[in-house]
């Protein structure tokens, strides 16, 4: 007797392997960037420039404050409030 649900175990395993490889690759890139920054921070002339760039990146990243109304507006909540 055939089950009502299709077994998607192979598909899920393939998706997991793909995402796992992506995470591993991104982790390696992150480690290389950190090592590059550590090396550059030891160089006197480049250190100040890197610190300014790092401060600018942090201020523009997800760590900066964004009001709720801005997020709702960007997602179109106020345009179609009945559908939300």
Q: Considering the domain boundaries, does residue 51 fall inside one?
A: yes
Whether residue 2 has pLDDT greater than 60? no
pLDDT (0 to 100) of residue 28: 93
Q: Considering the domain boundaries, does residue 12 fall inside one?
A: no
The separation between CA 42 and the C-alpha centre of its own chain, rounded to angstroms, equals: 28
Using CA atoms of 49, 50, 51, 57 in order, give the dihedral in degrees to the nearest 10.
110
The count of domains in the chain is: 1
25-82 pLDDT per residue, tens: 999 998 998 888 788 878 878 888 888 887 888 777 766 677 888 888 888 888 776 6
Q: Considering the domain boundaries, does residue 23 fall inside one?
A: no
Q: Which domain holds residue 46?
A: 28-84
Q: Considering the domain boundaries, does residue 48 fall inside one?
A: yes
pLDDT (0 to 100) of residue 82: 64
Q: Considering the domain boundaries, does residue 68 fall inside one?
A: yes
Q: Considering the domain boundaries, does residue 74 fall inside one?
A: yes
pLDDT (0 to 100) of residue 62: 67
Q: Considering the domain boundaries, does residue 13 fall inside one?
A: no
């Amino acid at each position: 007797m055939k089950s009502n649900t299709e077994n998607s175990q192979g598909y899920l395993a393939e998706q997991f392997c793909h995402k796992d490889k992506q995470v591993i690759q991104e982790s390696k890139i992150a480690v290389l960037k950190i090592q590059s920054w550590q090396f550059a921070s030891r160089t006197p002339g480049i250190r100040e420039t890197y610190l300014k760039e790092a401060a600018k990146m942090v201020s523009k990243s997800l760590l900066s404050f964004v009001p709720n109304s801005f997020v709702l507006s960007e997602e179109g909540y106020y345009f179609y409030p009945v559908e939300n």
